[in-house]
């Protein structure tokens, strides 16, 4: 029996270059995407399968907001 592991992709722009990285789980992909946003990259897709079928920017922004709240004391947004 052939077992094919599903990977998750993160699409982002750093400076003027588009990149794609793959991760073995959605948790790792989301964590990587949030770290890329912290580093100033423009993350514009997270998902599996076709690159056009991914979590979009507005959803990524909501996930990032939750990630920031979870990593800061008492849920205070840095400012």
Q: Is the pLDDT of residue 11 over 80?
A: yes
pTM of the shown model: 0.78
Backbone angles phi, psi at 53, to 5 degrees: -110, 80
pLDDT band at 57 (very low <50, low <70, confident <90, very high): confident
Structure tokens at 13: 């722009």
Query: In the predicted model, what is the mean pLDDT of residues 44-55?
Result: 80
Q: Give percent above pLDDT 90 in the chain.
A: 56
Let me know the angle formed at the C-alpha of 54 by 36 and 42, rounded to the nearest 5 degrees. Answer: 25
CB of 41 within 8 A of CB of 27? no
Beta bridge partners of 65: none
Structure tokens at 38: 């912290």
């Amino acid at each position: 029996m052939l077992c094919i592991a599903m990977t998750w992709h993160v699409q982002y722009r750093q400076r003027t270059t588009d990149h794609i990285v793959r991760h073995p789980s959605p948790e790792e992909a989301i964590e990587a995407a949030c770290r890329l946003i912290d580093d100033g990259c423009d993350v514009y897709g997270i998902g599996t399968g076709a690159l056009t079928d991914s979590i979009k920017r507005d959803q990524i922004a909501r996930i990032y907001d939750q990630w920031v709240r979870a990593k800061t004391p008492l849920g205070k947004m840095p400012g």
